[in-house]
Amino acid sequence: MKQCNEVFQNFYLRRTKKVTPIAKPQAIMAKRKQEIENQKVINFLCSENGNVQKDKILILCEGYTEVKYFSSLVEKSDGLEKIKIKKGKDVDPLSLVGEAKRYLSFDRTHEKKLSEVWIVFDRDNHYSYQSALEKASRDSQIKVAWSNPCFEFWFLLHFRRKFDDFSRTKSVWNPTTNEFEHLYDSKACVSKLKSCIQGYKKSDISTFKNLRTRTLKAIENSSFNQSDANELGSSVGLLIQSIIDSLVIQDDFWNKED
């Protein structure tokens, strides 16, 4: 395990270490938390006592809403040994792709245990959205679970399959392309979701529990657009299906409410 950690330092820390000013206590705590999460992924990718479990899945998420949702799903389905969920070091989609590539580089050189890395991020106002999608497509092991406009749209798919009331009502200046982008409004999406889930909060750890029995319906509802990331839709259902296939989850699992 010690050698495994040392190898990872060469692939990960060498590419991310920067000279920074003396950090405030909050920043130090955040950095320490990130280091702990990185170590968990290292342990996940490193074998112990020669026991190498193949075909593992790493899920890198933009935010904690996604982490809590997928963590609950995987924990309930007894998949913690095969699937690791982690919040990305940064929320920027392009940074998430870079982080995924660093873990894959480490894995390919060391254990070769990963079958794929999923990156979960939203359209929102991210300037690097298009670049991230393009860069991720160059590596067959990197998959993207996108939501347009936001992750809450995936939750909304548990209740609806028609979205005629959605339109591009938000204009954002993109300094990269030097032009305005007309986007779907994330706040409007969250507002619509609250009419389906009373008292919904991003920090709610019981979201998966509340939506569990509707999951297969959400996968069906999401089929209207899982390929064009520039339009209203979500490919999160493809990630859920990958988890189902990897853990061999039976249909009756989704009928439970505990």
**64-76 and 236-247 helices cross at what angle (nearest 10)?**
30
| pLDDT tens-digit readout, 168-194 | 999 888 887 788 889 999 999 999 999
Would you say residue 37 lies in a domain?
A: no
**Can you spell out the DSSP letters for 98-135?**
HHHHHHHHHHHHTT--EEEEEEEEE-TT-TTHHHHHHH
Question: Element (H or E) spanning 220, and its range?
Answer: helix 215-221
What tokens does 127 get?
């300037």
Would you say residue 8 lies in a domain?
A: no
Provide the domain limits for residue 126: 53-255
How many CB atoms sit inside 10 A of residue 80's CB? 12
Please report which confidence band the pLDDT of residue 6 belongs to, taking 50, 70 and 90 as the band edges. Answer: low
Would you say residue 16 lies in a domain?
A: no
Whether 21 has a pLDDT exceeding 70, the answer reads no
**Distance of alpha carbon 211 from alpha carbon 40, whole angstroms:** 28
What tokens does 214 get?
């509707």
In what side-by-side order are the strands of the sheet with 114-122?
Answer: 83-87, 56-61, 114-122, 142-148, 233-234
| pLDDT tens-digit readout, 215-254 | 999 999 999 999 999 999 999 999 999 999 999 999 999 9
Would you say residue 18 lies in a domain?
A: no
Would you say residue 111 lies in a domain?
A: yes
- The DSSP secondary-structure symbol of 24 reads P
**Distance of alpha carbon 203 from alpha carbon 150, whole angstroms:** 15
Question: Which whole number is the average pLDDT over 40-66?
Answer: 83
**Distance of alpha carbon 121 from alpha carbon 236, whole angstroms:** 10
Would you say residue 20 lies in a domain?
A: no
- What domain count does the chain have? 1
Q: Which of 203, 202, 182 is nearest to 190 (CA)?
A: 202
Would you say residue 234 lies in a domain?
A: yes
> Is-contact 23 31, C-beta < 8 A?
yes
What tokens does 231 get?
């339009």
**Distance of alpha carbon 115 from alpha carbon 107, whole angstroms:** 10
Would you say residue 31 lies in a domain?
A: no
